[in-house]
Structure 1
Amino acid sequence: MTPLKTVYDSEPDNSLEKSMSLVASAIADTSRVSILCALMDGRAWTATELSVVADIAASTTSGHLTRLLSSGLVICLTQGRHRYYSLAGHHIAGLLENLMGVSMHPLISPQSRTPVSLRYARTCYDHLAGELAVKIYDFMQQEKWIEADGTALTPVGKTHFE
């Protein structure tokens, strides 16, 4: 088997943020995710096999595999006329497992167990809290009684409180 080399830009970009976003964008397609999940079994698959798993056309699979190759997520081994694709390493499988774990958490915000009367008006240590306090704060900002960052009274605010 002869490994097919992954093509990278001639000038490496040392930006971690850019590198992370390139990997994330390579994964951000359901067909590519299907391909990557199929490859997690450790075997090398042909493009035809992967097109069946991802339920996409062979020509579409080729484009997705090119994207995954260029991002370093998969490698391609050539054996005669055939090409076999597999994950680029155990670290990619670990990345996918972590992503699966994060994806399984519900996106529903936790529900407050605070009684309705306390959610409306209450104090918290040394300050007002609840919906009423938010309304007072919004009113004071609207009337320009407090600074934009909310940390101090404006001269107009001081006048109103005096």
Structure 2
Amino acid sequence: MNAEPDLARLASSVGDPRRIQMLALLMEGRALTAKELALGAGIEPATATSHLKRLQGDGLLVATSQGRHKYFRLASEHVAQLVESLMRVAPRRQSEVAAHADEPIRQARYCYDHLAGSLGTGLLTALLRKGWLINDAADPGAKQLEVTAKGAKSFTALGIDLKSAQARRRQFACRCLDWSERRDHLGGALGAALADHLLAQRWIERKKHSRVVHITDLGKTQLGRWV
């Protein structure tokens, strides 16, 4: 029996332009219906159904039924990391060659369920500078990060439940290389909890049907003390 992962099958699945577009749309972090994914990929809903079945069959998507609708989302954090990695190495479209660093998606966006762009990288830099996070003591070059005693106290004071974040079946705190900044932002359960906190405090707002994040006036004031 060949126990090797079927990389050719995976490459075929994500290599289709419609399917990779659907995966990119789901990097927003929210579940979308087949119709929404079809519109985003520029195809008919009937055509989208076969693509979604393929992505589900390959373990890249999961679906949840609610009422008359079925909602699709990325199957795991690992799938999000795969899509983000492809974004880092993919060539830029000719229409985007003259893109500017002040584009909204480069300033602030969601990477699955945590913050990316210059906002995300700036937050991680600030958390490391403040001593709330440090590199893994056992392996300073690893992606994993550790929360210090000072950080635990400070995160708790902000209203972030570290125990709940640590209990999630995923990485707790890790570096995630940002495709636009080429620097790390904070991923894992802690990154998601921090993004949720900023959203709840109305420091940021999500743009509908987009990964782009808008920093509110209140957020600019509060985050200015951090970044």
Q: Identify the TM-score tier after normalising by the shorter chain.
A: 0.5 to 0.7
1:81 aligns with 2:68: yes
Q: Which residue of 2 aligns with 1:14?
A: 3
Counterparts in 2 of 1:101 and 1:49: CA distance versus 1, 3 Å: same
Q: 1:83 to 1:102 in 2, by over 3 A?
A: same
Note the C-alpha offset of 1:30.
Answer: 0.6
2:25 aligned with 1:30? no
- Give the match for residue 57 of structure 1: 44
Shift of 1:95: 0.5
* Pairwise CA distance, 1:21: 1.3
> Could you tell me which residue of structure 2 aligns to residue 94 of structure 1?
81
SS of 2:32's equivalent in the other structure is coil
Per-residue CA deviation, residues 95-129 of structure 1 (Å, 9 max, x unaligned), is 011111111379xxxxxxxxxxxxxxxxxxxxxxx
Q: Which residue of 1 aligns with 2:162?
A: none
SS at match of 1:104: coil
Task: Give the CA RMSD over aligned residues.
Answer: 1.8
Q: How many residues align?
A: 93
Q: Secondary structure at the match of 1:78?
A: strand
Encode CA deviations 1:14-43: one digit per residue, 9 max, x unaligned.
Answer: 222xx1111111101111011000000110
Mapped to 1, the partners of 2:41 and 2:2 lie a distance apart of 32
- Which entry has the higher C-alpha Rg, 1 or 2? 1
Distance 2:28 2:76 in 1: 12
1:71 aligns with 2:58: yes
SS in 1 for 2:62: strand
How far did 1:81 drift? 2.2
Q: Residue 38 and residue 105 in structure 1: after superposition, are their counterparts in 2 closer, same or farther (change >3 A)?
A: closer
Deviations 1:61-83 (A, max 9, x none): 00000000001111011112210
Identity across matched positions, percent = 40
Question: Gaps spanning 5+ residues in structure 1: where?
Answer: 1-11, 107-162
Q: Secondary structure at the match of 1:14?
A: coil
- 1:14 is aligned with what amino acid? A
What secondary structure is seen at the aligned counterpart in 2 of 1:36?
Answer: helix
Distance in 2, matches of 1:13 and 1:65, equals 27
Counterpart selection for 1:46 from 20, 24, 33: 33
Determine the C-alpha separation between the residues in 2 that align with 1:62 and 1:78: 15
Secondary structure at the aligned position of 2:28 is classed as coil
Distance in 2, matches of 1:71 and 1:13, equals 17
Give TM-score scaled by structure 2 length: 0.39
